[in-house]
Structure 1
Amino acid sequence: MNSADLGRRVGVPSTALFTDQYELTMVQAALKAGTADRRSVFEAFTRRLPEGRRYGVVAGIGRMLDAVENFHFDDEMLTFLREQNVVDGPTLDWLADYRFSGDIWGYPEGEVYFPGSPILRVEGSFAECVLLETVILSILNHDSAIAAAASRMSAAAGGRGLIEMGARRTHELSAVASARAAYIGGFDTTSDLAAGFRYNIPTVGTSAHAFTLLHDTERDAFRAQVDSLGRGTTLLVDTYDVAEAVRTAVEVAGTGLGAVRIDSGDLLLVAHRVRQQLDELGATGTKIVVTSDLDEYAIASLAAAPVDAYGVGTQLVTGSGQPTCSMVYKLVARAVSADPAEPLRPVAKKSLGAKTSVGGRKWAARRLDENGVAEAEVIGAGPVPAELADRQLLAELVRGGEVIAREPLDAARERHIAARSGLPMSAMQLSRGEPVIPTEYM
């Protein structure tokens, strides 16, 4: 994970106020108590997967690294905090000089995870680590939820093309992050140009129903599009009558027409009819793209249909019903001073109910069976067993405050394909179930 990040980190503003007020008030109180510099270890993890999911997907690591790198308080922010009486003068002075100087380890982007997996480990002083809690969780919870939905859709698509097209269904900045996460999870292209610009994701797009309605006839609309974009374009054929539109499309573009898109109706039935009609007209190479509120279940139901690509919007950018991963960021170990030689002491929340955690600075490894298939997520706070030494999952991301692990987005995408293929086959089932492998603590 040492190659250069190929994305454009242009015009990235400070991320310091992407946080909750109590992060700053904790710093103020800790500074006054003399405990702010205590060496600490925080971990991000989830206690459970979203209901029915068999595995999670780590996404947002690259964006998180950008956020940590750009987490600093400028004069305008400090003035705001002063005028709003958020923190006192000594704390404002401390914040003015803030730059994260600790270490971060984490699961590489695209890797899969399970309940308890220490997806991220942040080490440094209490004050500098606790400030990062909200922005880290905001990024990881959103991006990992989208990537998990994308992965399920990718598995259901069975190698057919996937187009992310959800920009109009979510916040404009979330749309860019969603396209990035979807690409990691297995989508091939996006309709969002900002995502293409920032992250080098391939972009696609042709026309909407409005373009057809603009023209006096459907034939005029098709001719205008083909004249402008070429015969390889994709023509939208469900504005009026699908059969008539397909016939007109082939007459205008010829048998070399790139594709037709169907955006309504009984997609299974219509796709079969359109494929038969295209073949009869000699357009045997023309592809069929379907859209219309698809999710992983709809995609799976179209497995027997002659469909070449799926365009997915709303369900993808909302996590297909699971818009967050419920990750938390907890203090798991701390020393009694800032001295690096001072031993770390495990700490953990022990409240009643499900909101308990396991203390200690942890490692994680994935144990494989005799066939090389994952059989358990193993987590421990002591020595790593020799048989798991080469199966460890945490990678060094930040050392001494410096990001050392940027990588091209395609590396995360390829890693996810490999990680998913290493899970038991039941991981690909869309029926509700438990995590596909157990989490074991040592």
Structure 2
Amino acid sequence: MNANASTALLTDRYELTMLQATLRDGTAQRRSVFELFARRLPDGRRYGVVAGVGRLLDALEDFRFAQAELDWLREADVVDADTVQWLTDYRFTGSVWGYPDGELYFPQSPVLVVEGTFAECVILETVFLSILNHDSAIASAAARMISAAGDRPCIEMGSRRTHEASAVAAARSAYIAGFAATSNLEAGRTYGIPTTGTSAHSFTLLHDTEREAFEAQVRALGPGTTLLVDTYDVPDAIRTAVDVAGPGLGGVRLDSGDLVALAAEVRKQLDDLGATSTRITVTSDLDEYAIAALAAAPVDGYGVGTALVTGSGAPTSGFVYKLVARAGDDDEMVPVAKKSKDKISVGGRKNALRRRDAGGTAQAEVIGIDLVPTDDGDDRTLLLELVRDGVRVHDEPLDAARERLRTSLAELPATAMQLMRGEPAIDTVYEEAP
């Protein structure tokens, strides 16, 4: 492990102060079960998409208190010397079960189940929540955009609208949700996501004429490139673009104006000029609703930025991380739960399956409390083992997560794909021991 890559201080102070208190009173080593879940979906959403699990497991592997972290904790007087000493040897030795990347979740779904001692589990709260809340929010928004886009590809291009590290994570989440490519090169290097991009308006403005700009781009990137045609006058730019690149011009990009009407005009002009295979990509503050509005327009693809990387109105998934069971004085596990108004949680270690009918359509999210829900033969288990005795046992390529999401969405009732506001697509029900 590279000490400079430690994730141990990506946390809230109160987790370490709780650790100090439990080390003092002897409860730190009590066996515990924490659960990460959302009490509700963002307002009006029909489903949520899990993303960030792979990143979470990477972060867990790097959750080590190296000398730099320990020295700072001492200097800042965050915790006492005994706690710092305990952190010196910190290694998570417990187990983690969870919904994998690309799985759907619903209210109360046990997206992550973390088992170990209280001390080793509680200090993971913030880093787990920060990753899954962000990444799942982006993936959930992206999945709605992909649904609205139909067979037309979407490109993630929101890097300049968010934190530089969030941009890379957002590209990963968007790719899981079905986006075809990203503009972010670090996301391409880190996760193997296809990258794409050609030029901005500044490139055109740099040159004395639009023709000179187009000629320079075609010389550098070939006639298959995509030319940005709305810097000045679109019809004039289209004529110039086809004249410079020929009828084999790869594509044009529209970034402003009434995109529905403009796309129709551009398509006709391209066809009249013989550029019948030239693709039209539209950008300009698109979200799922704008994409849906373009469904009848002659558009070949979408570039999405701000709305995507901010969750399209739901920038967090609302996940919480709660203690749901702990060992009692006799070492038997005891369910525990928060009972405060509007923030009630359900105690007990959870298992989950998606109940489906004989035709494979999802009917309910079934959560078993201290038991495995009964499978009637058509159902699907949701929790996968991610970490066993402190060792990561789950690792998969992003393409597996993309396929999982496609399969999971195909299970939902058809109404779940509608963009209109509504209740969760399926109900959450509990099974308990008699």
Corresponding residue SS for 1:363 = strand
Q: Which residue type is aligned with residue 358 of structure 1?
A: V
* Aligned residue among 14, 21, 33 for 1:29: 21
Map of 1:42 onto structure 2: 34
Q: Which residue type is aligned with residue 179 of structure 1?
A: A
Q: Does residue 98 of structure 2 align to residue 110 of structure 1? A: no
Alignment of 1:106-255 (within 5 A): 106-255=98-247
User: Using CA pairs below 8 Å that are at least 6 residues apart, which structure has the higher relative contact order?
Assistant: 1
Q: Does residue 365 of structure 2 align to residue 365 of structure 1? A: no
* Aligned residue among 8, 20, 23 for 1:16: 8
Map of 2:425 onto structure 1: 436
Q: For the residues of structure 2 that align with 1:140 and 1:164, how far apart are their CA atoms?
A: 19
Q: Is the 8 A contact 1:186 1:413 kept in 2?
A: yes
Q: For the residues of structure 1 that align with 2:378 and 2:384, how far apart are their CA atoms?
A: 13
TM-score, normalisation: structure 1: 0.95
Corresponding residue SS for 2:5 = coil
Deviations 1:301-350 (A, max 9, x none): 0000000000000000000010001100000011137x9xx421111111
Q: Does residue 364 of structure 2 align to residue 376 of structure 1? A: yes
Q: For the residues of structure 1 that align with 2:380 and 2:372, how far apart are their CA atoms?
A: 14
Q: For the residues of structure 2 that align with 1:425 and 1:141, how far apart are their CA atoms?
A: 26
Post-superposition offset of 1:389: 9.0
Q: Is the 8 A contact 2:357 2:378 kept in 1?
A: no
Change (3 A) 1:56 1:313: same
Gaps of 5+ in 1: 1-8
Post-superposition offset of 1:386: 4.1
Q: Is the 8 A contact 1:367 1:388 kept in 2?
A: no
Alignment of 1:358-437 (within 5 A): 358-381=346-369, 382-387=371-376, 391-437=380-426
* Aligned residue among 333, 342, 353 for 1:344: 333
Map of 1:58 onto structure 2: 50
Q: Is the 8 A contact 1:365 1:388 kept in 2?
A: no
TM-score, normalisation: structure 2: 0.97
Q: Is the 8 A contact 2:367 2:373 kept in 1?
A: no
Deviations 1:77-111 (A, max 9, x none): 11111111111111110001001110000001100
Post-superposition offset of 1:383: 4.1
Post-superposition offset of 1:243: 0.4
Q: Which residue type is aligned with residue 413 of structure 1?
A: R
Q: Which residue type is aligned with residue 326 of structure 2?
A: R
Q: Is the 8 A contact 2:99 2:112 kept in 1?
A: yes
Corresponding residue SS for 1:441 = strand
Moved more, 147-156 or 406-415: 406-415
Q: For the residues of structure 2 that align with 1:59 and 1:343, how far apart are their CA atoms?
A: 34
Q: For the residues of structure 2 that align with 1:392 and 1:299, how far apart are their CA atoms?
A: 34
Q: For the residues of structure 2 that align with 1:124 and 1:197, how far apart are their CA atoms?
A: 35
Corresponding residue SS for 1:332 = strand
Map of 1:284 onto structure 2: 276
Q: For the residues of structure 2 that align with 1:390 and 1:403, how far apart are their CA atoms?
A: 27
Corresponding residue SS for 1:364 = strand
Deviations 1:92-134 (A, max 9, x none): 1000100111000000110000000000000000000001000
Q: Is the 8 A contact 1:12 1:70 kept in 2?
A: no
Post-superposition offset of 1:370: 2.8
Q: Which residue type is aligned with residue 153 of structure 2?
A: G
Post-superposition offset of 1:10: 9.1
* Aligned residue among 311, 316, 320 for 1:324: 316
Q: Is the 8 A contact 1:290 1:311 kept in 2?
A: yes
Map of 1:5 onto structure 2: none
Change (3 A) 1:349 1:261: same
Map of 1:4 onto structure 2: none
Q: For the residues of structure 2 that align with 1:177 and 1:275, how far apart are their CA atoms?
A: 35
Deviations 1:43-86 (A, max 9, x none): 00000000010000000000000111100111111111111111
Map of 1:81 onto structure 2: 73
Map of 2:294 onto structure 1: 302
Change (3 A) 1:78 1:323: same
Q: Is the 8 A contact 1:152 1:296 kept in 2?
A: yes
Post-superposition offset of 1:390: 5.6
Q: Does residue 88 of structure 2 align to residue 96 of structure 1? A: yes
Q: For the residues of structure 1 that align with 2:189 and 2:12, how far apart are their CA atoms?
A: 30
Q: For the residues of structure 1 that align with 2:419 and 2:368, how far apart are their CA atoms?
A: 31
Q: Which residue type is aligned with residue 322 of structure 2?
A: K
Identity %: 67
Post-superposition offset of 1:360: 0.3
Q: For the residues of structure 2 that align with 1:386 and 1:52, how far apart are their CA atoms?
A: 30
Corresponding residue SS for 1:387 = coil
Q: For the residues of structure 1 that align with 2:336 and 2:176, how far apart are their CA atoms?
A: 34
Q: For the residues of structure 2 that align with 1:269 and 1:11, how far apart are their CA atoms?
A: 55
Change (3 A) 1:336 1:257: same
Corresponding residue SS for 1:45 = strand
Change (3 A) 1:10 1:424: farther
Q: For the residues of structure 1 that align with 2:394 and 2:254, how far apart are their CA atoms?
A: 42
Q: For the residues of structure 2 that align with 1:103 and 1:235, how far apart are their CA atoms?
A: 51
Q: For the residues of structure 2 that align with 1:218 and 1:365, how far apart are their CA atoms?
A: 58
